């Protein structure tokens, strides 16, 4: 598969997170000649938090993680690629239980300390024999680096996606690293795709959960590739506490704001990488809506624009058709007034007060649309609400990838 033209030039240099050890193996869930199982061990005492799909048809892995998150502690993560194990009934549940039990037996922990995620084709039960053989191979494997682990969790991804950031908690620097996979079936209704965040910060599970929810709201929940929410969307955060900072237990503790800011920055980096690898994408699009009656209303309008096939195909073709943006605003079902609406492409105002601006010249707008990074700004002129979301264009490549996905 060709690498996305929007991909970063290189994989980032990522620091080691003390208390996190990565291994990969080949379970052969598909016929591809690559590793497809990632096994992560976590130091005793690691706190965990997560945001999970709101799909009404979630995978057994999502249901398992949802129950385990209540306990707030983790010792391991197992990620399978090539088979989502979703819509597989009791056989799918049995597979998850078998993975957790075998991993727990290896580590000497409780099955509830093991978190499991899967991605790939829906409707095919995960073979327990392959899962167990893959786990045994992973247990015996040498530790690997972030890039190998990131490549292993991918499916239709064209490049490995990872990022890092840090924060000062008192006199102690804490480090965060995140890896993520996702390219299609991207329209999060909480988190999106499979994303895993690791930090050496000492933070309580409840605070970590609140911080991840806050970060998610302005990052993972603000991206879309194709308007489709996965059955398996999972973002998990693990905090080993190895940095030795004064533990953060709630938002009033010293360093809490700095940690949330760093976590949000990391999640934004990861979310935007997913959009840059949108299936068939050639352009990265930022849509900023202001002047709405509320932030929630602005978000709905922004996502209506971002999910519009007409808007996305116009941008793919470099067509400065701002009328399609008007259409997407109007269909969103949120308060809007034609006569207070303003639209810009990049820094160029194209419409204002219910009509095209006087002396409008399409040439600079068309030039902006020729670039890989496209900005659309919409001011509803009604209030103080605002939101920013990210999407990509819609090309023939998206159809080709998904028409051939199971072949």
Looking at domain 284-403, its CATH class is: alpha beta
pLDDT of residue 1: 66
pLDDT of residue 146: 98
Q: Residues 6 or more apart from 109 whose CB is under 8 A from it? A: 75, 76
Q: What DSSP line would sit under 232-294, residue for residue?
A: S-EEEEEE--TT-PPPB-STTSTTHHHHHHHHHHHHHHHHHHHHHT-TT---EEEEEEEEESS
From the number of C-beta atoms within 10 Å of its C-beta (0-12, 13-18, 19+), residue 233 rates as buried
The domain spans of the chain are 20-276, 284-403
**CATH of the structural domain 20-276, one choice from 3.40.920.10, 3.60.70.12, 3.30.300.30, 3.40.50.720:** 3.60.70.12
pLDDT of residue 192: 60
Q: Residues 6 or more apart from 223 whose CB is under 8 A from it? A: 186, 188, 192, 271, 272, 274, 275, 389, 390, 391
Q: Known binder of ligand: residue 279?
A: yes
pLDDT of residue 178: 98
C-alpha distances in Å from residue 323, one per residue of 311, 316, 326, 338: 9, 16, 5, 12
pLDDT of residue 278: 87
DSSP 171: T
Same fold, 20-276 and 284-403: no
pLDDT of residue 406: 54
pLDDT of residue 105: 98
pLDDT of residue 120: 86
pLDDT of residue 73: 98
Q: Known binder of ligand: residue 358?
A: no
pLDDT tens digits along 150-196 = 999 998 899 999 999 999 999 999 999 999 998 776 776 766 679 99
Give this prediction's pTM.
0.94
Which ranges of the chain have pLDDT less than 50?
A: 407
Q: What are phi and psi of 176, to 5 degrees?
A: -125, 135
Instruction: Report, as residue numbers or ranges, the catalytic residues.
Output: 192
pLDDT tens digits along 222-248 = 999 887 777 778 999 999 999 999 999
Q: Known binder of ligand: residue 388?
A: no
Q: Known binder of ligand: residue 283?
A: no
Integer Cα distance of 225 and 393 in angstroms = 8
């Amino acid at each position: 598969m060709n690498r996305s033209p929007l991909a970063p030039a290189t994989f980032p240099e990522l620091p080691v997170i003390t208390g996190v050890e990565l291994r990969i193996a080949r379970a052969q869930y598909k016929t591809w000649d690559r590793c497809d199982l990632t096994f992560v061990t976590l130091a005793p005492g690691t706190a965990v938090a997560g945001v999970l799909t709101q799909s009404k048809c979630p995978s057994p892995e999502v249901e398992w993680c949802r129950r385990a998150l209540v306990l707030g502690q983790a010792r391991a993560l197992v990620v399978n690629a090539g088979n989502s194990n979703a819509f597989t009934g009791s056989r799918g549940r049995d597979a998850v239980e078998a993975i957790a039990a075998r991993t727990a037996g290896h580590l000497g922990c409780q099955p509830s300390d093991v978190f499991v995620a899967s991605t790939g084709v829906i409707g095919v039960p995960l073979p327990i024999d392959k899962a167990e053989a893959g786990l045994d191979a992973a247990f015996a494997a040498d530790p690997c680096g972030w890039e190998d682990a990131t490549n292993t969790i991918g499916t239709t991804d064209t490049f490995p996606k990872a990022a890092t950031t840090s924060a000062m908690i008192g006199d102690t620097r804490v480090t965060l690293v995140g890896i993520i996979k996702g390219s299609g079936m991207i329209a999060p209704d909480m988190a999106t795709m499979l994303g895993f965040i690791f930090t050496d910060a000492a933070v309580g599970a409840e605070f970590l959960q609140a911080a991840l929810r806050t970060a998610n709201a302005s990052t993972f929940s603000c991206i879309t590739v194709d308007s489709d929410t996965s059955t398996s969307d999972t973002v998990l955060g693990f905090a080993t506490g190895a940095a030795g900072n004064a533990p953060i237990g709630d938002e009033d503790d010293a360093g809490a704001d700095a940690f949330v800011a760093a976590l949000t920055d990391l999640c934004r980096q990861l979310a935007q990488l997913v959009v840059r690898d949108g299936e068939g994408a050639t352009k990265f699009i930022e849509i900023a809506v202001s002047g709405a009656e509320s932030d929630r209303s602005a978000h709905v309008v922004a996502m209506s624009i971002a999910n519009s096939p007409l808007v996305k195909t116009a941008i793919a073709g470099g067509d400065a058709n701002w009328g399609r943006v008007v259409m997407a605003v109007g269909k969103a079902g949120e308060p809007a007034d034609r006569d207070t609406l303003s639209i810009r492409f990049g820094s160029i105002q194209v419409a204002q007060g219910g009509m095209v601006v006087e002396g409008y010249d399409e040439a600079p707008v068309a030039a902006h649309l020729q670039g890989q990074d496209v900005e659309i700004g919409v001011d509803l002129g009604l209030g103080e609400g605002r939101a920013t979301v990210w999407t990509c264009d819609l090309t023939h490549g998206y159809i080709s990838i998904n028409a051939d996905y199971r072949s």
